[in-house]
């Protein structure tokens, strides 16, 4: 049984990967054609590279464990697929009402694929989250409707995101497949994207400084934050109260008394309503000289009350 599950797992991973290869290769060809020749097929490029990287992620997740790619699966089959060696020999698995080859079987979508990706590549979450969020919003209309406008910046964000994901998967030593190898065009695009980012931040700060001169005599407004995906801070240009976007995660530190919980805020964007400075991602924050990691441990009691995690932490210390 264990050998059969392993073969099935690899079969799914390879089939998903081959599909990813077809979508992604053709999608990147359209993507570069649009950028070089101002083609009117930007929507097709975004749709194809997004679905291509989704299949690429599913190939990786299936290789790790076949249950990773299904959104709904009977508990008996979940146990059988995830840990076949632990199932008693007398278990009549053929009686389980589940056809793994059924076309009606639902797999996870792009957003769940990205959530899973961050589990295996947590160091890339802060870097890619804002761009992947935009890509997730564009996926459905790109494939099933009409995207009213796709400017060059949005298209660049899409290309940067999918190529970064593919690079990460290709460099993962435990994943034996490389369904797509970055071309020279891809590498040139990534270099140009970095150059554009530096130029964009420089221009954004210059415009913000110009705007700040106009509001010097006006009262500075403070900006609050609500929830765990925003945090109030001071604008690096006009020093007005502004907003960081990002996400908050629980962490663990340790001192002489042992481990204790902490809370971190990972910044992924910035907006100042006074001087109109906008920064779109972690790299832009860093180029602007801003912090990208903040300690929110002072709010940890509120975090535990809202998440219901305090009892779990207390139990783990017993």
Asked whether the CA dihedral 225, 292, 112, 4 is positive or negative, the reply is negative
pLDDT digits 0-9 by tens, 256-286: 888 989 999 999 999 999 999 999 999 999 9
pLDDT score of 229 = 95
How far apart are alpha carbons 286 and 283 in whole angstroms? 5
> Helix, strand or coil for residue 65?
coil
pLDDT score of 318 = 46
The residue to which tokens 């870097």 are assigned: 127
pLDDT score of 246 = 96
> Helix, strand or coil for residue 244?
strand
pLDDT score of 74 = 67
Length of the chain: 318
Contact between 229 and 247 (Cβ < 8 Å): yes
Strand runs (DSSP E) across the chain, as ranges? 230-234, 241-255, 258-271, 278-279, 293-295
How far apart are alpha carbons 251 and 277 in whole angstroms? 31
pLDDT score of 32 = 92
Domain ranges of the chain: 2-89+100-182, 230-316
How far apart are alpha carbons 216 and 16 in whole angstroms? 57
pLDDT score of 35 = 82
Q: What is the pTM of this model?
A: 0.86
The residue ranges of the chain whose pLDDT is under 50 are 97, 219-223, 311, 315, 317-318
């Amino acid at each position: 049984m264990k050998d059969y599950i392993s073969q099935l797992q690899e079969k799914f991973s390879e089939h998903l990967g081959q599909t990813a290869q077809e979508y992604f290769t053709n999608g990147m060809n359209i993507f570069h054609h649009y950028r070089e020749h101002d083609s009117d097929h930007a929507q097709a490029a975004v749709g194809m590279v997004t679905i291509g990287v989704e299949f690429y992620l599913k190939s990786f997740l299936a290789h790790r464990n076949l249950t990773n790619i299904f959104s709904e699966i009977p508990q008996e089959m979940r146990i059988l697929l995830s840990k076949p060696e632990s199932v008693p020999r007398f278990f009549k698995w053929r009686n389980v009402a589940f056809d793994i080859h059924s076309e009606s079987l639902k797999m996870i979508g792009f957003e769940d694929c990205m959530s899973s990706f961050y589990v295996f590549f947590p160091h890339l979450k802060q870097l890619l989250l804002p761009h992947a969020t935009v890509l997730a919003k564009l996926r459905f209309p790109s494939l099933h409707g009409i995207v009213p406008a796709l400017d060059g910046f949005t298209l660049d964000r899409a290309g940067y995101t999918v190529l970064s994901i593919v690079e990460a998967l290709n460099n993962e030593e435990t994943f034996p497949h490389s369904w797509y190898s970055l071309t020279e065009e891809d590498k040139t695009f990534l270099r140009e994207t970095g150059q554009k980012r530096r130029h964009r931040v420089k221009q954004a700060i210059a415009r913000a400084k110009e705007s700040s001169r106009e509001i010097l005599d006006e009262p500075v407004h403070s900006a609050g934050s609500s929830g765990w995906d925003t945090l109030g801070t001071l604008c690096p240009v006009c020093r007005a109260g502004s907003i960081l976007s990002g996400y908050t995660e629980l962490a663990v530190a340790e001192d002489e008394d042992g481990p204790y919980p902490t809370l971190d805020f990972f910044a992924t964007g910035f907006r100042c309503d006074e001087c109109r400075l906008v920064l779109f991602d972690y790299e832009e924050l860093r180029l602007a000289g801003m912090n990208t990691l903040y300690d929110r441990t002072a709010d940890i009691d509120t975090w535990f009350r809202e998440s219901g995690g305090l009892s779990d932490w207390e139990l783990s210390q017993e």
